[in-house]
Amino acid sequence: MATLEIKNLHANADEKEILKGLDLTVESGEVHALMGPNGAGKSTLANAIMGHPSLTAREGQVLFDGEDITEAAPDERARLGLFMAFQYPVAIPGVTITKYLRSVMNAHRVARGEAEISLKEFRKTVEEAMELVNVPREFTTRYLNDGFSGGEKKRLEVLQLALQKPKIAILDETDSGLDVDALNVVAHGINEVAKANGTGVLIITHYQRILHQIVPDRTSILMDGRIVREGGPELVDQIETTGYEQIRADVAAAATK
């Protein structure tokens, strides 16, 4: 079990206050959906959780299993068991996927004081992960993100997720730009990983489509730097019917009461 707890987080990007007292909890073994309109602060929150240097936490805390990681370096957070899939992954031409995955895995092992993984053991682990998330074998001999379609990039993220077995994963707009087939593969992979490894998943999206296939245990709505609604999967349906504007109006009305 692991718990990621964000308490009263205020964060600035440059001089602008983006997160304005945000509270959120994500636990291993649960799928938590974070929804909100464009510009609400979702990616800013993801970056704050991973310790992106462009953000300053002015107030509040990020806790991982009770340990304060508000100021921890990104690799320290990764070592504790946090994983983040980036909205815009980089391309590293000339590095095959296999080589990349192995070096990431070894970096984690070395950080934990373990020996590097043998080639044989690595192959076995990758094969299991590929099977779990339905990634074809020829995929791993390709070069990292070089000419990848949106769907292929996301598939790689899911493969990494299966391989790394983090305690908690933050997936920012994993569904963006995916066609139906790619979405199905990615959603299936995330469900399998959550089930097989007990990974807690924070799915960040402004669009409810992926949440029909990965049914969240909990849903939180982020607007203007704060969580304004919390609930279960029914909140996803509500947004689908009424849009964010209704919630925005309700929040504004409650504030002036």
Ligand X SMILES: Nc1ncnc2c1ncn2[C@@H]1O[C@H](COP(=O)(O)OP(=O)(O)O)[C@@H](O)[C@H]1O
What is the nearest approach in angstroms of Mg ion to the Cβ of residue 57? 19
| 38, 53, 163, 204 from 28: Cα distances, Å | 27, 26, 16, 16
The CB-side HSE value for 36 (13 A sphere, CA atoms) comes to: 23
Distance CA 105, CA 99 (A): 10
**Residue (35 or 126) nearer to Mg ion, CB:** 35
Q: Which does 112 bind (CB under 5 to 8 A by kind): Mg ion, ligand X, none?
A: none
Q: 216 touches which of Mg ion, ligand X, none (CB within 5 to 8 A by kind)?
A: none
Q: Which residues pair with 59 in a beta bridge?
A: 10
- The nearer residue to Mg ion, 44 or 219, going by C-beta atoms, is 44
Q: How far is the CB of 173 from Mg ion (least distance, A)?
A: 6
The residue range among 9-17, 147-155, 208-216, 243-251 that interacts with ligand X, by the rule CB under 6 A, is: 9-17
Compare residues 43 and 199 and give the one whose CB is closer to Mg ion: 43
C-alpha 210: how far from its chain's center? Answer: 13
Q: What stretches of 51-118 show up as alpha helix (H) in DSSP?
A: 74-80, 97-111
Binding residue for ligand X, selected from 8, 17, 54, 91, defined by CB under 6 A: 54
Q: Which does 44 bind (CB under 5 to 8 A by kind): Mg ion, ligand X, none?
A: ligand X
Q: How far apart are CA 223 and CA 45, in angstroms?
A: 12
Is residue 43 near Mg ion by the rule CB under 5 A? yes
Q: Which of residues 33-52 bind ligand X (CB under 6 A)?
A: 36, 38-44
Least distance between ligand X and beta carbon 15 (Å): 8
Task: Please compute Rg for the chain using Cα positions.
Answer: 18
18 lines the binding site for ligand X (CB under 6 A): yes
Q: Which is nearer to ligand X, 14 or 234 (CB)?
A: 14
CA distance 43 to 38: 10
- The separation between the first and the last C-alpha atoms of the chain, rounded to the nearest angstrom, is 40
The one among 14, 138, 181, 245 contacting ligand X by CB under 6 A: 14
Rounded Cα distance between 9 and 24, Å, is 9
Residues of this chain that interact with ligand X (CB under 6 A) are: 13-14, 16, 18, 36, 38-44, 54
